C-alpha cells in the first residue's frame, strides 16, 4: 500500500489560457492575464499558500517549457520559454490546474 493512499486535495482552479492575448479560453476558478511575451499572471478566486499548492501546467505547443512562480497566495506567475530557440520567452496556449492539499491527510 502506498504511503500516499490517504492523500487528499481539492480543486481550486482549472483553466485554459490563450497565449497571444492571455484570455481565458475555458474553465474557472482563476483569471489569467498576459503581462509580456511569454509571461502570464493567474489570479485565483480563492487563496492557496505555496506550501499547500499542487500546480500542474500543460503547454499546448511543442518545444516549450512552462514554469510557475508563487507570487502571492492569490497570484501565480507562469513563464513560457521556447526550448528550440535558446530559451526565448514566447507566448503559448496552456492549461493550468491548481489544487490545495487538505490538512490532516
* Per-residue pLDDT in tens (0 to 9) along the chain, 105 residues: 445 556 688 999 999 999 999 999 999 999 999 999 999 999 999 999 999 999 999 999 888 999 999 999 999 999 999 999 888 999 999 999 999 998 754
Q: Which domain holds residue 16?
A: 9-101
| HEC assignment per residue over the chain | CCCCCCCCEEEEEEEEEECCCCEEEEEECEEEEEEECCEEEEEECCCCCHHHEEEEEEECCCCEEEEEEECCCCEEEEEEEECCCCCEECCCCEEEEEEEECCCC
Extract the C-alpha cell encoding 30: 482563476
- Please check whether residue 83 lies inside any domain of the structure: yes
- Please check whether residue 41 lies inside any domain of the structure: yes
- Please check whether residue 57 lies inside any domain of the structure: yes
- Please check whether residue 1 lies inside any domain of the structure: no
- Please check whether residue 67 lies inside any domain of the structure: yes
Residue-level pLDDT at 86:
82
What's the domain count of the chain? 1
- Please check whether residue 93 lies inside any domain of the structure: yes
- Please check whether residue 91 lies inside any domain of the structure: yes
- Please check whether residue 35 lies inside any domain of the structure: yes
Amino acid at each position: 500500500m502506498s504511503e500516499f493512499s490517504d492523500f487528499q486535495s481539492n480543486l481550486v482552479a482549472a483553466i485554459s489560457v490563450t497565449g497571444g492575448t492571455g484570455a481565458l479560453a475555458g474553465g474557472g476558478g482563476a483569471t489569467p492575464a498576459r503581462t509580456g511575451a511569454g509571461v502570464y499572471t493567474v489570479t485565483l478566486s480563492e487563496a492557496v499558500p505555496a506550501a499547500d499548492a499542487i500546480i500542474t501546467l500543460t503547454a499546448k505547443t511543442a518545444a516549450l517549457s512552462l514554469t510557475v512562480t508563487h507570487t502571492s497566495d492569490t497570484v501565480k506567475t507562469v513563464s513560457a520559454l521556447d526550448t528550440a530557440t535558446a530559451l526565448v520567452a514566447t507566448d503559448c496556449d496552456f492549461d493550468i490546474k491548481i489544487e490545495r492539499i487538505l490538512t490532516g491527510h
